[in-house]
Structure 1
Amino acid sequence: MDVVSDAVAAIRIGQPSSNRVRVGGNWCVRLPPYDGAGFHVVLEGGCWLLPDGGPPVSLGTGDVVLLPHGTGHVIADGPADAETVGRAVSFERWLAGTGPGRPPAGSRDVEMLCGKYRLDRSRTHPLMAELPEVVHLPNRVGSHAELRAAVDLLGHEVGAQRPGSCVAVPSLLDLLLVYMIRSWAAQGSGTWPNVLGDPVAADALRALHSDLAAPWTNDRLAAEAGVSRATLARRFTTLVGRPPMAYLTWWRLTFAATLLRDTRDPLAAIARRVGYSTPYAFSHAFSREFGTTPGQYRTVAAGAQ
């Protein structure tokens, strides 16, 4: 595994959902704040996104926008004023009334994919926490090739009712989320894009995430990154915000929480998988980090899904 894959897997729960909608004329739709992440992909035409408390964003054909923290927002045919936004209809009403048909002749057509991801924010990786309220990825020639390919595939699958679409669409939506985050990181603005772009910190993180159960030490990790122990400690701590072994302990327990939530593996198996020699040692560390036992955490997490 790698940092982005692990960060996504730790918070994603359930199946993502999406709708393909087509609309024309004057329209203005509200999507309330959501305890997850929302996204829109403009397949044809253009529209505006007006996030709560943020500046309006113009979206054109091929543009992708991710709202990773579930920010409430309005999508509309134009940069609507406050009065128009106040009259926005709910997304559910709009969806029920739009359907797959064509809008009236002569109106401005807009076709979009609108969807959301269910997320468990109880143990969010700092990479995910750093994402801005709105991640706008414009459709530019030569940029985000993988994202463009995923958008094209989704555009063909969603609403088409093809054989196997029940498997293909959720998988493509998961891929879309990874590509949106990867595209944001590639823009290089923020702490974690800098972390992932630093050869020392990135190599160390890749090693830790690929083998959590290994008996890591600062010396062994420094050798993996090809630098001295002092250089690793300085670069890693400055960029990541905590020393390598402190990050390793935190991530081991965070990943263990994901396993407790998503699997029925026994405690002994989970302990071994995250680098603890005994269930007792694992339970002690887990309780210190989470303030509850692994068994109690599993019970509460199961009830929340």
Structure 2
Amino acid sequence: MRRAACVYADAMDALAGLLEGPRARGAFMIRACFDPPWSLRIEDRAPLTIMLVVRGDACVVPDGGEAVRLRAGDLAIARGPDPYLCADDPGTAPQAVILPGGECTYPDGRSLKGRWDLGVRSWGDRLDGSTVLLIGTYMMQGEIGGRLLDALPPLLSLTSEVWECPLTPILAEEMVRDEPGQEVVLDRLLDLLMIAALRAWFSRPEAEAPAWYRALADPVVGRVLRLVQDDPAHPWTVADLAAKAGVSRAALARRFSELVGEPPMTYLTGWRLALAADRLRDSDDTLESIARQVGYGSAFALSSAFKRRYGVSPQEHRSRAA
């Protein structure tokens, strides 16, 4: 019983680590109101978008994927950057295209600016349309942790039969307010809605959690994962980790690679760089300080590894997040 409780607690700690990622900053928020037939082609390349059906129904169709039907109370989360269709029916031809930055055009490229405006953060045919969706979009990659994005499918949905969120009426009310600080209020509500939805998703049997998350239940690999996650700055070696886990180096390397999908040191490097990316985004700490916090001997060593992993320097990453 104690062992089961420990495994459950470890899984919950790992889930908390995933869910602490969403931090919206000036997210794109809108209430979409339509009468059939309607169809939107989404090409905004946003890392994550949440769609909550308040009234009526809708279909979300990823390119090359199967349509997901949503009804009132249902929710879908689309992971970018691949495009998808949001419509009353998969066969309805797109009437508008949503581009990066929230720019809207007709399918022929003409601007839609102002054409479908219905008031504060409201858009579409008419306010009392038969279909109403609340849509929130994280505009930049830095607002969502990379480890969380990697853990999600391109499109997931939750029906009202398996989840109920008390935030829906609050978000619907706050969406159309135009008061000082309203953008910050909506950002935090979007974060809470996203966290509630993802927590419900990860509790579902169809959710495909990442390999390292599932591996936490293993008595050997789970212990090693917790060691490196809890103390990334420690100068770990495979021998150190194997000794802590009570197995040989070869046994640990083989078991870790089988369950996690990569060697222990490769995982440790990825974990350290993910932490560095988050701290560059969320703090004013110097690169030297962050390097020490995540286990690199110098700012130069961190910068070199960071650029190999993400294709940009730490300074460029921080500037983009800002």
CA positional deviation for 1:132: 2.1
Q: How does 1:152-231 map to 2 (within 5 A)?
A: 152-161=169-178, 165-189=182-206, 192-193=209-210, 195-198=212-215, 199-200=217-218, 201-202=221-222, 204-216=224-236, 228=247
1:29 touches 1:94 (CA, 8 Å); kept in 2?
no
TM-aligned CA distance change 1:188 to 1:207, over 3 Å: farther
Structure 1, gaps ≥5 residues long: none
Determine the structure 2 residue equivalent to 1:30: 41
1:10 touches 1:255 (CA, 8 Å); kept in 2?
no
Please state if 1:135 is matched with 2:151. no
AA paired with 1:48? Answer: C
Between 1:10-19 and 1:232-241, the stretch displaced more is 10-19
- Alignment partner of 2:316 out of 267, 280, 300: 300
1:40 touches 1:66 (CA, 8 Å); kept in 2?
yes
Paired residue total: 289
Structure 2, gaps ≥5 residues long: 1-11, 99-103, 105-111
Please state if 1:46 is matched with 2:53. no
CA positional deviation for 1:113: 0.7
TM-aligned CA distance change 1:12 to 1:49, over 3 Å: same
SS state at 1:157 partner: helix
SS state at 1:18 partner: strand
1:23 touches 1:103 (CA, 8 Å); kept in 2?
yes
What TM-score, normalized by structure 2, do the two folds share? 0.71
Between 1:125-134 and 1:226-235, the stretch displaced more is 226-235
Determine the structure 2 residue equivalent to 1:89: 96
CA positional deviation for 1:64: 1.0
1:34 touches 1:71 (CA, 8 Å); kept in 2?
yes
Q: How does 1:116-131 map to 2 (within 5 A)?
A: 116-120=137-141, 125=146, 128-131=149-152
**Sequence identity of aligned pairs in percent?**
28
- Deviation per CA, 1:104-141, whole angstroms, max 9, x where unpaired? 79x861111112112338x974652352221122221x
More helix as a share of residues: 1
* Whole-angstrom distance in 2 between the partners of 1:287 and 1:203: 29
- Alignment partner of 1:99 out of 111, 118, 136: 118
2:211 touches 2:260 (CA, 8 Å); kept in 1?
no
- Alignment partner of 2:307 out of 276, 286, 290: 290
Aligned CA RMSD, in angstroms, stands at 4.0
CA positional deviation for 1:16: 2.2
TM-aligned CA distance change 1:124 to 1:229, over 3 Å: farther
* Whole-angstrom distance in 1 between the partners of 2:118 and 2:149: 34
CA positional deviation for 1:180: 3.6
CA positional deviation for 1:72: 1.9
Determine the structure 2 residue equivalent to 1:243: 263
